[in-house]
Amino acid sequence: MTSLKRTTGVLLVTALLAIGATRISSQEPAKPQASPTPATDQDKVRVFTEEVRLPVVALDAYGHYDPTLELSDVLVLEDGVIQQLRSVTHIPANVLFVLDTGGESNGLGGASKSTSLTRSVASQLITKLPEGSSIAVMQSGNGAELLQPWTRDKEVVLKTLKNKLLATKRSRISEAIATASLELRDRPEGARHVVMITDGVDTPGSKIKREDAMQQLIAARATVHIISYTEFVRQKSEKRTSSVAATQRPTSSDPITATDPTLPPGTTRSPSFGIGIRFDPAMKKQRKAYETEVKKSQQALKNVAEETGGKILLPLNSQEMLAQANEVARAIGAEYVVTYRPKRPLAEATPGEYRRIEVASRRVGLSLQSRRGYVVPLPPK
Residue 248, pLDDT above cutoff 60: no
Mean pLDDT for 233-256 is 53
- Domains annotated for the chain, with CATH where assigned, are 91-237+280-342 (3.40.50.410)
The percentage of the chain sitting over the pLDDT mark of 90, rounded to a whole number, equals 55
The CA–CA distances, whole Å, from 84 to 51, 78, 325 equal: 11, 10, 36
> Which strands make up the sheet holding 85-89, listed edge to edge?
85-89, 335-340, 52-59, 367-370
Q: Quick one: which of 189, 224, 190 has its CA closest to 56?
A: 190
For residues 154 and 381, which has the higher predicted lDDT (pLDDT)?
154
pLDDT (tens digit per residue) in 214-231: 999 999 999 999 999 988
For 77-124, write each residue's pLDDT tens digit. 999 999 999 999 998 999 999 999 987 644 454 456 899 999 999 999
Per-residue confidence at 381, pLDDT binned at 50, 70, 90?
low
Q: What is the mean pLDDT of the chain?
A: 80
Task: Decide if 270 contacts 256 (C-beta within 8 A).
Answer: no
Q: Taking 70 as the threshold, does the pLDDT of residue 37 lie above it?
A: no
DSSP annotation string for 130-178: PTT-EEEEEEESSSEEEEEEEES-HHHHHHHHHHH---BS---HHHHHH
Evaluate if residue 8 carries a pLDDT over 60: no
pLDDT average, residue stretch 153-164: 97
First to last CA, the chain: 78
Instruction: Answer yes or no: is pLDDT of 7 > 90.
Output: no
Answer whether residue 186 shows pLDDT above 50. Answer: yes
pLDDT at 240 over 80: no
Mean pLDDT in residue range 359-381: 88
Question: Is the pLDDT at 370 greater than 80, yes or no?
Answer: yes
**Residue 341's pLDDT is what?**
95
pLDDT at position 17 is: 41
- Model pLDDT, residue 380: 61
User: Distance (Å, rounded) from C-alpha 344 to C-alpha 365?
Assistant: 32
For the stretch 29-62, what's the b/e string if a residue is b when 16 or more beta carbons lie within 10 angstroms of its beta carbon? eeeeeeeeeeeeeeeeeeeebeebbbbbbbbbee
Q: How confident is the model at residue 264 (pLDDT cuts 50, 70, 90)?
A: low
For 230, the 3-state DSSP assignment is: helix
Report the SS3 class of residue 34.
coil
Amino acid at residue number 42: Q
pLDDT confidence bin for 289, thresholds 50/70/90: confident
* Spatial contact of 102 and 127, defined as CB atoms under 8 Å apart: no
If you write DSSP's letter for every residue of 252-315 in order, what string do you get? Answer: GG-HHHHH-TTSPTT---SPPEEESS---HHHHHHHHHHHHHHHHHHHHHHHHHHHHT--EE--
Going from the C-alpha of 231 to that of each of 98, 120, 228, 249, the distances in angstroms are 19, 18, 7, 34
Reported as a pLDDT band with limits 50, 70 and 90, residue 57 is: very high
Average pLDDT of the residues in 32-41: 40
SS3 state of residue 350 = coil
| Lowest mean pLDDT across 27-41, 193-207, 232-246 | 27-41
Residue 127: what residue type? T
Q: If DSSP codes are grouped into helix, strand and coil, which group holds residue 381?
A: coil
